[in-house]
Amino acid sequence: MLSYLNKKIISFMDWFVERHDDTAFMVRVNKKLYEGGTFQKIEIYSTPLGKMLVLDGKIQFTEKDEMMYHEMLVHVPMMMHPSPEKVLIIGGGDGGAAREALKYEPSSITIVEIDREVVEKCKEIIKIDGGALNDKRVRILYEDGIKFVRECEEHFDVVIVDGTDPNIFSSHIASRQFYEKASKISDIMVTQSQSPFFQPDYFKAIAKNSSFLKNRRFYISYMPSYPSGLWSFMISGDYELNEEQIKKRWEERNVETLHYNPDMHLASFALPEWMKKML
Ligand code: SAM
């Protein structure tokens, strides 16, 4: 009996637990591969879902499911742009978003990542970027993306905001001022907008602060390792594509994906009634 209990206790310690106010998500851990971080706590684990990045206690992705998030974040705006040549990614230091954007063969991608260590450790240990972080078309700037956008005088075809959960250095990433400027310097802007179910206040703040944006719409997808699995995105800008046009563009561009396709694209804009009410 005692040895059975011991075994249970020990095996419980082999799980990474992401805690929320009233719920938690657990992933079994084979090994901790890295722990560090001066700017934010960075943990990297080997798990049955592949390598897993955790920042300040929050799972950013596992190797097994990251494509669900990165493909929906990137392909929706990139498909809607007639010629996405110049791309700006705010955050996204793991390189997953850049990897997807490179499939459109843009002339340049600028990544503005506040934490150099995330980029270095993702390049060294996780490697989901598939070489994107070393690609000659990709420029990486280590600075605050909010400040970069505020002072930016360049124009980008697509701006992709791939930030972390709201925290001390990223809460302004959902402010009206940030959206105003980010939309001015781009044709299309997209941002991940967290869990509408578990983070309703943050989601509503994004909705309120972005309500003035042109063609502002929300779309949803699933991401198993995020709270509840349901994740949301907000897009705005110069895009107007119907079903036929999206399908035609998809065929013409011949982009390879694991998750995104025109059916997923179109379906992702169908919102449940409770979310519509929040908006
Ligand atoms: N897929 C993730 C999610 O939603 O859970 C986001 C992953 S990505 C690793 C988020 C990155 O945004 C982090 O590396 C973090 O350092 C960066 N970040 C957060 N706030 C930022 C800011 N103000 N400027 C630039 N990068 C920022």
The pLDDT tens digits for 196-245 are 999 999 899 999 999 999 999 999 999 999 998 999 999 999 988 899 99
The pLDDT tens digits for 31-73 are 999 999 998 999 999 999 999 999 999 999 999 999 999 999 9
62, 27 Cβ separation under 8 angstroms: yes
Q: How far apart are CA 107 and CA 120, in angstroms?
A: 24
Architecture of domain 66-278: 3-Layer(aba) Sandwich (3.40)
Q: 161 CA distance to ligand 1 centroid (A)?
A: 8
The band of 10, judged by pLDDT with boundaries at 50, 70 and 90, is very low
Nearest to 45 by CA among 25, 65, 59, 66: 59
Catalytic residue ranges: 162
Handedness of CA 75, 79, 84, 90 (dihedral sign): negative
71, 258 Cβ separation under 8 angstroms: yes
CATH of domain 2-62: 2.30.140.10
158, 187 Cβ separation under 8 angstroms: yes
Domains of the chain: which residue ranges? 2-62, 66-278
43, 32 Cβ separation under 8 angstroms: yes
Atom of ligand 1 nearest to the CA of 112: 25
Nearest to 181 by CA among 80, 274, 43, 88: 88
Consecutive H or E run containing 26? strand 24-28
The answer, yes or no, to whether any atom of ligand 1 lies below 6 A from the CB of 47, is no
